A and B are shown apart, each in its own frame.
Chain A
Amino acid sequence: MPSIRLQGSDGEIFEVDVELAKQSVTIKAMLEDLVMDDEGDDDPIPLTNVNVAILKKVTQWCTHHKDDPPPPEDDENKEKQTDDITVWDQEFLKVGQRTLFELILAANYLDIEGLLNVTCKTVASMIKEKTEEIHKTFTVESDFTEEEEAQMRKEKLV
């Protein structure tokens, strides 16, 4: 099967199947814009925002989901669930926070909707806690003043 060569942000070259790569709307657009003959161009496609390690993870996900139907049109009125992550995806995403967020960034850059959804759902599930736990889980510093915090607590407003 024809393959293309991708160059990560760290300079490494990674070869991937064209059909798998076309799950990325970004790569697909690049391929359509570039003039490539049947022998293939040896020049790799530069992906400055994604390193090879993450590219390999992305490829792994795309390989598993290559036969998935296209996702339905996003309905804003429909309640978005976070409990519909498949078991395989749950195991796949048992990674560190740093890797998880790099996958999110990669999915966002490469415009892979399915991967972006499942990674964002995973983070959303982690956020579904109380404010104090969110601070601890994600090491987010609160930049509110004490008066603002007291006011928020009193009003319970956003």
Chain B
Amino acid sequence: MEEEVQQHSHCVNCVSRRCMTRPEPGIACDLIGCPLVCGAVFHSCKADEHRLLCPFERVPCLNSNFGCPFTMARNKVAEHLEVCPASVVCCTMEWNRWPVSYADRKSYENLSRDVDEVAQLDMALALQDQRMLLESLKVATMMSKATDKISETREQISVKSSVQEIPCTNGLVSVDEESYGALYQATVETTRSLAAALDILNSATRDIGMLNTSLSVTTDKMDESNRESFQERNLKDEDHLHEEEMGAVGGVDHNGISQNAQSEQNGSSDLLCDLSTTSLGTAVLCNGFPLENMCSQIKDQDQNFPRDSIDSNIENGECAAADGTSEPSSSLLVAAQLREIIPFSALPDSAFQHILMPDEDDEEDLYWKKVDLGDVKDVDDPPFSHTPSFKFLSNSWYIPKEDKAVDTSDLEVAEDPMDLQGIDLITAALLFCLGDSPGGRGISDSRMVDVYHIDFGTQTFSLPSAILATNTMVGEIASASACDHANPQLSNPSPFQTLGLDLVLECVARYQPKQRSMFTFVCGQLFRRKEFPSHFKNVHGDIHAGLNGWMEQRCPLAYYGCTYSQRRFCPSTQGAKIIHDRHLRSFGVQPCVSTVLEEPSRNCVLGLRSDHLSSLPFEVLQHIAGFLDGFSLCQLACVSRLMRDVCGSLLQSRGMVILQWGKKKYPEGNSSWQIKEKVWRFSTAFCSVNEWKFADILSMADHLKTCSYNVVQKQEEAVPLPCMCVTRELTKEGRSLRSVLKPVL
């Protein structure tokens, strides 16, 4: 109403450019032209209104709230949006890799041996993916926070068990309930179901052991009182185990200010959740069940337990001390022995395992039995000569279990100078993600025993959920598995340089279901809107697609260790080549400059070259930097302060602005995300490569002539064909060849 009072009654509805109405106070005013000479003519009372429409009016960019500092004429906004620094596009391209299969591990160690400067693009990208994978697998553990939060956590979880709660000493992944309440509950439920599945699995594996025949009794009976106490503790522990797992899976301890969290806040990170890590202990689990104390109990009961057989295989879920000491070592160590006796696909001929079985005389007692696994090799033909008794199934509850943390210091884990908390972190990181990958180690080997389809546990460490449920570092589990004497080659002294991922990258569409063991990597890099098309085309369409032997061609004998490779394609620009920068995690184009002759330094007594570049005027340096792409500007900005200032002056015209979000908590208890600051940076885009050409290189055949792995076998004797061998035998008897050859139908 106030506006209408200010507007003149005539002018409100008048849009004529030739209005002849005489100006009268309160009724009408005179006509004026736009001060910016846009051509508009209007009553003077509409001047402010016209500024909302005038094409020459300087207005802030539409992305001003996202950090764009520019103002421009309204008719230039559309043109500016194409190059707006706040118009940032995040590349969501994905690619996939398999972990290196067990059979190929040796050849990959050869391939990535002594690789300091990675000039091979496929290896560079694979190592980059591996580094990102390792960073994303760090699990945050704060022992003190975890201990404090356990009680708080339990209040939130509805514990149905009425057994006495035992304080968990394993240490759990701390959870920020406020932040991750819903997710926390979801992971709790998931872990609960997984724990139940593990329970069934272990019960089944124990039952299988009891079904085996031709056992030799070697252990004493368990003390009745101990067994009862074990029963009680077992019940408590089972519930307690659930609680532990419930209280921790998926939990995250966010420091909030960690670098990678910051970069994730920037929205430019392509990593999974990155969490700071301080591991203060290790909970040893075997397929989700702690074994330590149970093993010690069993060990103490068995006075006649052969020391040698301690190192024998123990059925999954039940362990004895591996090294025969009174103090049991890591149960994982013992469980790892399974691998030796029950390999992925076959059983050895004369393997034995010790399993807990009910006493034939007294079914309530348990004793150790030495099982000849040779009898269970042929699962289709039950080796039993009598009807198996299933009464022991009810005794499974009597198997003692107790949660106990294990100090893995006796595993002689070498200190990792790179603070990876494990020697073969890469192995553990990759293996723990393996599920039923055909190239990896299966969780269990399914066999038919006595019409039961039973799974023999073959995995030597916990399932992922169990790992997340404890403060066990992935690296520590890897250390435990590395102590598997049957597989010392799993140890990886250089987790960053030895490649554990397949060199071949695959592109599986996002909507397609992928195998659990296949890793997915996301580009996640940020670009100015105008840079994105060339990035996608050159990096993902040309380079990534060409790494599988097309652009980067490897020697055919690479599997045997030959590291030779050659680049078959290069940008059409004379002499340019593709390079990879590890710090920027990006590819770039390096042109080949005609050799600039080195002039003798006449002014310098020592003959050293002087820094001519830095002596150039600032505006000249700006002009030079104006010819550089984002990738090169990132490199130049790290040279010196002067170059950093030069590049900084180009940020608004060549860089991009990214909002950094931070969570602000209010005294009332609620919280909200707010923009902490606006960060300016260059993208990693390089100058567009419009054409590729064949590089001037020799044929791979020329390399094979001198390849050290190309061992030519010259057969001096004739190699008999199988069919000819048979016919030769037959014709020895004097029969003709025609009579022994089968007719061709």
Q: Which residues of A approach B to under 8 Å, CB–CB? A: 76-77, 79-83, 90-91, 93-101, 104-105, 108, 116, 120-131, 134-135, 138-144, 149, 152-158
Please tell me which one of the listed residues A91, A108, A121, A138 contacts residue B613 in the complex, with CB atoms under 8 A apart: A138
Task: Specify which chain B residues have a CB less than 8 angstroms from the CB of A134 in the assembled complex.
Answer: 635-636, 639
Decide if A157 touches B639 in the complex (CB within 8 Å).
no
Bound CA–CA A158/B626 (angstroms): 15
Contact flag A126-B688 (CB < 8 Å), given A83-B576, A141-B611, A142-B639: no
Complex CA gap A141/B640 in Å reads 7
Q: B585's closest neighbor in chain A, by CB?
A: A156
Q: Is the CB of B610 within 8 A of A139?
A: yes
- Measured between beta carbons, the chain A residues less than 8 angstroms from B230 are none
Q: A100-B596, A120-B624, A158-B634 are in contact. Are A138 and B584 (CB under 8 A)?
A: no
Closest to B589 in A: A128
With CB as the reference atom, state the residue of chain B lying closest to A124. B627
Q: How large is the interface on B (under 10, 10 to 19, 20 to 34, 35 or more residues)?
A: 35 or more
Given contacts A134-B639, A140-B640, contact A95 B597 (CB under 8 A): yes
The 8 A CB mask of B614-652 against A (1 = contact, 0 = none) is 111101100111111100111111111101100110010
- Cα distance A134–B639 in the bound complex, in angstroms: 7
Contact assessment for A108 and B590 in the assembled complex, using a CB-CB cutoff below 8 Å:
no
Q: Is the CB of B653 within 8 A of A126?
A: no
Instruction: Please encode chain B, from 585 to 622, with 1 for each CB lying within 8 Å of some chain A CB and 0 for all others.
Output: 00011110111111100000000111111111101100
Closest-CB distance, B427 to chain A (whole angstroms): 26
**Inter-chain contact A94/B640, CB cutoff 8 Å:** no
List B residues 49-86 near A (Cβ within 8 Å): 79, 82-83
Report how far A158 CA is from B634 CA in the complex, Å: 7
State the CA gap A83–B641 with chains docked (Å): 28
Nearest CB on B from A111, distance (A):
12
Assess whether B627 is in contact with A121, with CB atoms less than 8 Å apart.
Answer: yes
What are the residues of chain B within 8 A of A126 when measuring CB–CB?
Answer: 593, 596
The complex places the Cα of A18 from the Cα of B389 at a distance, in Å, of 114
The residue in chain A whose Cβ has the minimal distance to the Cβ of B262 is A155
Assess the A82–B627 pair: CB atoms within 8 A.
yes
In the complex, are the beta carbons of A130 and B628 less than 8 A apart? Answer: no
- Kindly state the separation between the CA atoms of A95 and B614 in the bound complex, as whole angstroms: 19
B260 to chain A: closest residue by CB = A154
Q: Who on chain B is nearest to A138 by CB?
A: B613
CA distance A58 to B632 in the complex (A): 29
Contact A96 B655 (CB under 8 A): no
Query: B615: which A residues are within 8 A, CB to CB?
Result: 101
In residues 113-170 of chain B, which contact A (Cβ within 8 Å)? none
Which chain B residues lie closer than 8 Å to A99 at the CB level?
A: 599
Q: Which residue on chain B has the smallest CB distance to residue A119? A: B624
- Contact between B616 and A157 (Cβ–Cβ < 8 Å)? no
B579 near A80 (CB under 8 angstroms)? Answer: no
B687 adjacent to A125 (CB under 8 Å):
no
Q: Distance in Å from the Cβ of A36 to the closest Cβ of chain B?
A: 30
CB distance from B687 to the nearest CB of A (A): 7
Contacts of B681 in A (CB 8 A): 156-158
Contact partner of A82 among B591, B610, B641, CB < 8 A?
A: B591
Residues of A within 8 A of B259 (CB): 154-155
